Amino acid sequence: MASEPHTLLDLETIKIHYDKRALESIDRGFTSLLVILTTFSGIVLARVATHRLCTRVSPILCFLVEFPLIVLPGVLFVTVAHGYSGLFVGIVAILFLGLIVTTGSLSRARSRSHFDLGKRPTVLTIVRALTQLITAICILAIDFESFHRPYRKSRLFGAQLMDTGIGLFVVTMGLVSRRPRNCVDLRRSLFRSALPLILLGFARTLALEIIGYGQDEHEYGKHLNAFFTLGFTKLFGSLLSYLPRSDFQLVPLAIAVLVTHQLGLSFGGISAYVMDDDLARSSFLSANREGLLSLPGFVCIYLISIYLSRWLVSKTLLSYAEMIRKLRYFGLFSLLCWVLMVGGANAVGISRVTCNMGYVFWMIAITSTMVWLTMFIFDFIISSVLPLDTTIALAENLEKGSSSPKTVAPEKGGVFLICEALNMNGLTFFLLANVLTGGVNIFLSPENRSNFSSVLILLAYMLLATFVVFQLYMKRIRIA
C-alpha cells in the first residue's frame, strides 16, 4: 500500500506527458486564426472606408469611422457572436473579390512601375496592432459570462485563442528588433528594452502582492508574469543574436535552440516536470517552472521573427516581378509552417506553458499568414486601386517631430490611425488596458453582467484605451 501513491503519480505523469489533444489543437489552431482574421478584416474595411477621409476631414472623424470597423468585430466575435466569425470573414472576402474584379486591380498592379513597401512596412504596423487589439479585448472579455469559454488559455496542451497572446507579443518584439552588430547595440538592447520589461514584471508582482490579488500560477509560475517572459526573451535573444555574423545565420541558430529545447521537453522529463500539478512549488525553479522552462522556445520565436523582418525590409522598392516573387515565397513559407504545425501537434502537441516545437510552428504559421495577407491585400491590391492622394508619412513625421509643409500635417489625418497609434505607444496602451481591466473587475462586477451590458462595457473600455493613445499620437507624444 505504501508504494501505491507513487505508482498513481507516475501514471498521472505519463498521462499528462502523452495526452496532447492533437486533433483538437489543430482545429483550435485554425479557429484562432479565423478569429484574428475578423479584426484584420475590420482593418481592411477601415482602409477602404477612410481612403477619401484621410486628407479631407479631421482625424477625429477618421478615428470614429475606424473604431467600429476594427474594434467592434473583435469584441463581438469573442463574445455574443462567436459562432459567426467564419461568416463575417467570408463576407469581407467576397466584398474584396468584388473590389478586385470591378476595379481591375490585378492589371493595374501589373502596370505599376514599382511597389514601395517603405522603411517601416504596413505589414509590421498591422501585425503589431492586431496583437495589441486582440490581447486587450480578451484580457477583459474573459471576465464576462459572454466570453466564449473555448478561447481561454490551455492548461497543458491546446491551441486556444488566448494562447496566442504571449507568443504574438514575442513575434512583434522580434519584428521590430535588429541583430546587435556591436557592443553598443547589445547594451542598448539590454538596458533600453529588456531591463524595463523585467522591471515592469517586478512591479506587477509587487502590486499584486500588496493588493492581495492572486494570479494563476499555472501560466508563468508563482512569481513570474508575461513581462518577465518578454524581458528575459529579449535579454537572452539579444545575447544569442549577437553571435551570428549575418541575419541568415539566425535561422540555423533558432533551429538549434528549438531542437535542443524539444529534446529536453520530450526526453529530459521537462514537459512532465512543468505540467505536474502534484509537484510542490518549494523552490524558485519549481515555483516558476512554467515561466522559466518555456524561455528557450520563446527565444526561438524571437530569433525567427528578427530574420523574417530583416528579409522583409532587405529590399523595399520592388518591381512587379520582385513583388510577385516575394508574395510567392511568403505564401509557400506560410503553407510550410502550417504543415509543420499539424505535424508538430501530432508528434509533440502544442503547448504554450512549455512553448514547445508545436507552439513555435503555430506562432510562425500565424505570423507568416498575416504577413502574406497584408502584403497582398494592402501593398499589392489596395495601393494599386486606392493610392493615397499625397505622400502619407504621418507616422514617421510624428515620431520625428517633423513640421515639413510637404508632408501631411496631423490635423489633416492619415491612414491606419488606430494601428499607427498603437504602434507608437503599444506598451502604454497595454498597461492602460491592464489598469482599466482591474478597475472594471473592482467596480463593475463583470461576472454578473448580461450579454448586452458586457458588450457595451467592452466597447467603452476599448474606446477609452484607444482614444488615449490616439490623442498621444496626434500630439506627437511617445511614452512607450
Output the DSSP codes for 443-476.
Answer: HS-GGG--HHHHHHHHHHHHHHHHHHHHHHHHTT
Query: Which tens digit of pLDDT belongs to each residue from 368-379?
Result: 999 999 999 999
Query: Distance (Å, rounded) from C-alpha 43 to C-alpha 35?
Result: 13
Q: Write the CA distances from 356 to 296, 352, 368, 386, 397, integer angstroms.
A: 9, 7, 18, 42, 41
Query: Which tens digit of pLDDT belongs to each residue from 174-196?
Result: 999 999 999 999 999 999 999 99
Assigned C-alpha cell, 152: 481561454
Answer for the pair 301, 360: CB distance below 8 angstroms, yes or no. Answer: yes
Answer for the pair 346, 21: CB distance below 8 angstroms, yes or no. Answer: no
3-state secondary structure 183-237: HHHHHHHHHHHHHHHHHHHHHHHHHHHHHCCCCCCCCCCCCCCHHHHHHHHHHHH
Mean pLDDT score of the chain: 88
| pLDDT of 204 higher than 70 | yes
The pLDDT of residue 186: 92
Assigned C-alpha cell, 480: 512607450
What band does 209 get if pLDDT is binned at 50, 70 and 90?
Answer: confident
The pLDDT of residue 278: 83
Query: Distance (Å, rounded) from C-alpha 12 to C-alpha 180?
Result: 45
The pLDDT of residue 315: 86
The pLDDT of residue 413: 43
Q: Which residues contact 420 (CB under 8 A, 6 or more apart)?
A: 125, 394, 395, 414, 473
Q: Which residues contact 208 (CB under 8 A, 6 or more apart)?
A: 214, 215
The pLDDT of residue 237: 96
Query: Region 394-409: what's the mean pLDDT?
Result: 40
Assigned C-alpha cell, 398: 510624428
Query: What secondary structure does DSSP assign to 389-428, as a single string?
Result: SS---HHHHHHHT---TTS--GGG--SSHHHHHHHHTHHH
Assigned C-alpha cell, 451: 450579454
The pLDDT of residue 214: 66
The pLDDT of residue 56: 63
The pLDDT of residue 389: 52
The pLDDT of residue 55: 56
The pLDDT of residue 316: 84
Query: Distance (Å, rounded) from C-alpha 101 to C-alpha 121?
Result: 26
The pLDDT of residue 210: 80
Closest CA to 138 of 160, 123, 155, 159: 160
Residue scoring higher pLDDT (440 or 56)? 440
Phi and psi, residue 116, nearest 5° = -100, 105
| pLDDT of 45 higher than 60 | yes
Closest CA to 354 of 458, 275, 444: 275
Q: Which residues contact 428 (CB under 8 A, 6 or more apart)?
A: 468, 469, 472, 479, 480
The pLDDT of residue 409: 37
Answer for the pair 414, 59: CB distance below 8 angstroms, yes or no. Answer: yes
Query: Region 400-412: what's the mean pLDDT?
Result: 39
The pLDDT of residue 410: 38
Phi and psi, residue 477, nearest 5° = -105, 120
| pLDDT of 392 higher than 60 | no
Closest CA to 274 of 220, 225, 325, 316: 220
Query: Region 142-162: what's the mean pLDDT?
Result: 94
Residue scoring higher pLDDT (152 or 279)? 152
| pLDDT of 347 higher than 60 | yes
Residue scoring higher pLDDT (121 or 422)? 422
Q: Write the CA distances from 136 to 48, 434, 448, integer angstroms.
A: 25, 8, 20
Closest CA to 219 of 206, 229, 210: 229
| pLDDT of 390 higher than 50 | no
| pLDDT of 398 higher than 50 | no
Query: Which tens digit of pLDDT belongs to each residue from 75-98?
Result: 999 999 999 999 999 999 999 999
How would you class 467 by CB atoms within 10 Å of its CB: exposed for 0-12, middle for 13-18, buried for 19 or more?
middle
Query: Which tens digit of pLDDT belongs to each residue from 226-262?
Result: 999 999 999 999 999 999 989 999 999 999 999 999 9
Q: Which residues contact 461 (CB under 8 A, 6 or more apart)?
A: 140, 433, 436, 437, 440
The pLDDT of residue 277: 84
| pLDDT of 123 higher than 70 | yes
Query: Which tens digit of pLDDT belongs to each residue from 316-332?
Result: 899 999 999 999 999 99
Query: Region 265-294: what's the mean pLDDT?
Result: 91
The pLDDT of residue 396: 41
Which amino acid, one-letter code, is at 29?
G
Assigned C-alpha cell, 212: 492581495
The pLDDT of residue 414: 54
CB burial of 405-434 (b: ≥16 within 10 Å; e: otherwise) equals: eebbebebbbbbbbbbbbbbbbebbbbbbb
Query: Region 335-357: what's the mean pLDDT?
Result: 96
- Dihedral, CA atoms, 166, 170, 171, 172, nearest 10 degrees? 100
Assigned C-alpha cell, 244: 551570428
The pLDDT of residue 366: 97
